[in-house]
Amino acid sequence: MSPTSLAVRRGSCLCKKVQFEIHGQPWTYVVCHCVNCQKFSGSAFMANAFFLFKDVMITEGKDHIKTYEDSITKSGQPLIRSFCGECGSSLFLRSVTTNLIIVNTGSIDDKLETDANIKVPKCEIFVENKRPWLLVQANDGRKARL
């Protein structure tokens, strides 16, 4: 195993009341341009790293985590969106139909530039909503939809 496969990534919300650890490697890393992710992130897109649900552990502030059930999604799959109830930082997304949790990479505290598994997105999804001025290069140079 490589050193990064055993690494523990740490993350938190803006106010640091919610803190978490991620064990294991991401399943994939994508940039999502769907309108719901734009609104949840407060940005033109949301950078998402997919991990196994069992590999993400809340270490502090579980009582500060609030959830919103996003039932009207472009994919048709309802998502549970988690955020800090104190500062409002978006943290996670979870589909009830998978064993994956989607972590907003902006909430990961550790440097991602040195992690080849998260350094560059694998693809972009829902590109029909992509802002025309935005240039995001996926790892393989292609655009994809889920």
CATH number at residue 47: 3.90.1590.10
H or E segment and range at residue 35: helix 35-41
Pair 31, 122: CB distance under 8 Å = no
Mean pLDDT calculated for residue range 13-34: 93
Mean pLDDT calculated for residue range 110-138: 76
The answer to whether position 142 is within a domain reads: no
The answer to whether position 76 is within a domain reads: yes
The answer to whether position 139 is within a domain reads: no
The answer to whether position 24 is within a domain reads: yes
Structural domain total, the chain:
1
The answer to whether position 54 is within a domain reads: yes
Strand residue runs (E) in 33-78: 46-52, 56-60, 65-70
Pair 13, 107: CB distance under 8 Å = yes
Beta bridge partners of 93: 81, 102
Residue 146 has pLDDT above 90, yes or no: no
Buried b (16+ CB within 10 A) or exposed e, 55-79: bbebeebeebbeeeebeebbeeeeb
Q: CA-to-CA distance for 73 and 97, rounded, in angstroms?
A: 14
The answer to whether position 135 is within a domain reads: no
Domain that holds residue 28: 3-129
The answer to whether position 137 is within a domain reads: no
The answer to whether position 136 is within a domain reads: no
Q: CA-to-CA distance for 57 and 62, rounded, in angstroms?
A: 10
Strands 123-125 and 56-60: unpaired
pLDDT of residue 6: 60
Please tell me the pTM assigned to this model.
Answer: 0.81
Query: pLDDT tens digit string along 26-81?
Result: 888 899 998 989 999 999 999 999 999 999 999 999 999 999 999 988 888 889 99
